[in-house]
Amino acid sequence: MSGQGGVAPIIIKKKKVSGGDGHHGGAWKVAYADFVTAMMAFFMLMWLLNATTEKQRKGLADYFSPTIPISRISGGGNGAFSGDSMFTEDIKPQSGTGATNINPLDAQKSRGETGVDTDAQEQAENEAFRTIEEALSGRGGESMVSEELAKHIVTKVTDQGLIIELFATKTAPLFEPGRDAPTQLYRDLMRMVARVVSVISNDVALGGHTRSRALVVADNPVWSLSSSRADMTRQMLESGGMKSSRIHRVTGHADRALADSNPMSVRNNRIEIVLLRK
């Protein structure tokens, strides 16, 4: 060493520094971010389900539905139309939009794809209901109901259909007290209602309502009385020209659905005629 000038050799030692311990790494952050994203998507889904209507949800579902033509009847192939050819009538695609008139098998018959626009149908139905309301209230040009009769009529359009409510007053009852015999006023109302509702073919539901009795008895007559008055209304409508097939149901509600908060009020004596939606 001294013979070489006495200079000591330089030794370089390299120290390899590995990564931090497991808890100092970044893998857990990726997993946590995925978890937070999934939870955010879940709560967003819950919020959308609660904030949207049934029609809006159907529109979203239809948006993500497959748009390629799919046949429920296999023709032996694996194409869009299950191997059928759309250029020959005898093997026309079984989509249900147009059955063939040659050997019409069950598979070739229409499956209900009528192309009816439900929104347009509902709009037309509401328009017909409004026309009937105007006729019953005398707002549609020539009045079909006198001012005296109009005092006993209330109409409203609901999800169920058009409700025509005919109610009694203290000075003008619809039926004889305690009986199902109609007064002359009610006969006039029925003739007018039968004439007005004949412009549409919707089914009809009839409901009879009565006021409460002052005395509590074992066999409360309000049930049978409300039912018999509703059935009398059915008979009068059919006598006025309404087809019996349009009558969907006849119900007696007794004093269980009051129109006036006072259960003894005469206003609770009423008949509801509902023109049901199709």
Structure confidence at residue 91 (pLDDT): 47
Structure confidence at residue 96 (pLDDT): 47
Structure confidence at residue 92 (pLDDT): 47
Structure confidence at residue 14 (pLDDT): 67
CA-wise closest residue to 216 among 148, 263, 260: 263
Could you tell me the pLDDT band of residue 61, with boundaries at 50, 70 and 90?
Answer: confident
234-242: long-range pairs with CB below 8 Å, 24+: 234/206, 236/182, 236/187, 236/190, 236/194, 237/190, 237/193, 237/194, 237/204, 237/206, 237/273, 240/190, 240/191, 240/193, 240/194, 240/195, 241/194, 241/195, 241/198, 242/194, 242/197, 242/198, 242/204
**Does any domain span residue 242?**
yes
Q: By the 8 A CB rule, do 184 and 200 touch?
A: no
**Cα–Cα distance for residue pair 121/277, rounded to 1 Å:** 10
- Considering only residues 191 and 24, tell me which one the structure prediction assigns the higher pLDDT: 191
Residue 230 has pLDDT above 50, yes or no: yes
Structure confidence at residue 213 (pLDDT): 84
Say what the pTM is.
Answer: 0.56
- Considering only residues 215 and 161, tell me which one the structure prediction assigns the higher pLDDT: 161
**Does any domain span residue 59?**
no
Q: How many domains does the chain have?
A: 1
Residue 226 has pLDDT above 60, yes or no: yes
Q: What is the mean pLDDT of residues 27-35?
A: 89
3-state secondary structure of 261: coil
Asked which of 55-59, 143-147, 273-277 is least confident by mean pLDDT, the reply is 143-147
Structure confidence at residue 36 (pLDDT): 93
**Does any domain span residue 96?**
no
**Does any domain span residue 89?**
no
The structure tokens listed for 171 are 């000075």
**Does any domain span residue 40?**
no
State which residues form the domain around 243: 118-276
**Cα–Cα distance for residue pair 61/63, rounded to 1 Å:** 5
Cβ neighbours of 132 (radius 10 Å): 22
Q: Taking CA 231 as the corner, what is the angle to CA 227 and CA 232, rounded to the nearest 5 degrees?
A: 115
* Backbone φ/ψ region at 164: left (φ over 0), alpha (ψ -120 to 50), beta: beta
Q: What percentage of the chain reaches a pLDDT higher than 90?
A: 38
**Does any domain span residue 133?**
yes
Residue-wise pLDDT tens digits, 162-213: 999 999 999 999 999 999 999 999 999 999 899 888 888 999 999 999 999 8
Residue 103 has pLDDT above 70, yes or no: no
Tally the C-alpha atoms within 13 A of residue 9's C-alpha that lie toward its C-beta: 4
The structure tokens listed for 271 are 């008949």
DSSP label of 182? B
**Does any domain span residue 110?**
no
Q: By the 8 A CB rule, do 155 and 165 touch?
A: yes
Residue 125 has pLDDT above 50, yes or no: yes
3-state secondary structure of 154: strand
CB-based contacts of 33: which residues, under 8 Å, 6+ apart? none
Q: What is the CATH number of the domain that holds 188?
A: 3.30.1330.60
Pairing of strands 247-252, 204-209: parallel
3-state secondary structure of 163: strand
Structure confidence at residue 142 (pLDDT): 46
- Sort 31 into a burial class: Cβ within 10 Å, 0-12 / 13-18 / 19+: exposed
- Considering only residues 104 and 145, tell me which one the structure prediction assigns the higher pLDDT: 145
Strand order in the sheet with 270-276: 153-157, 161-167, 270-276, 204-209, 247-252
**Does any domain span residue 229?**
yes
Structure confidence at residue 83 (pLDDT): 53
DSSP label of 114? -
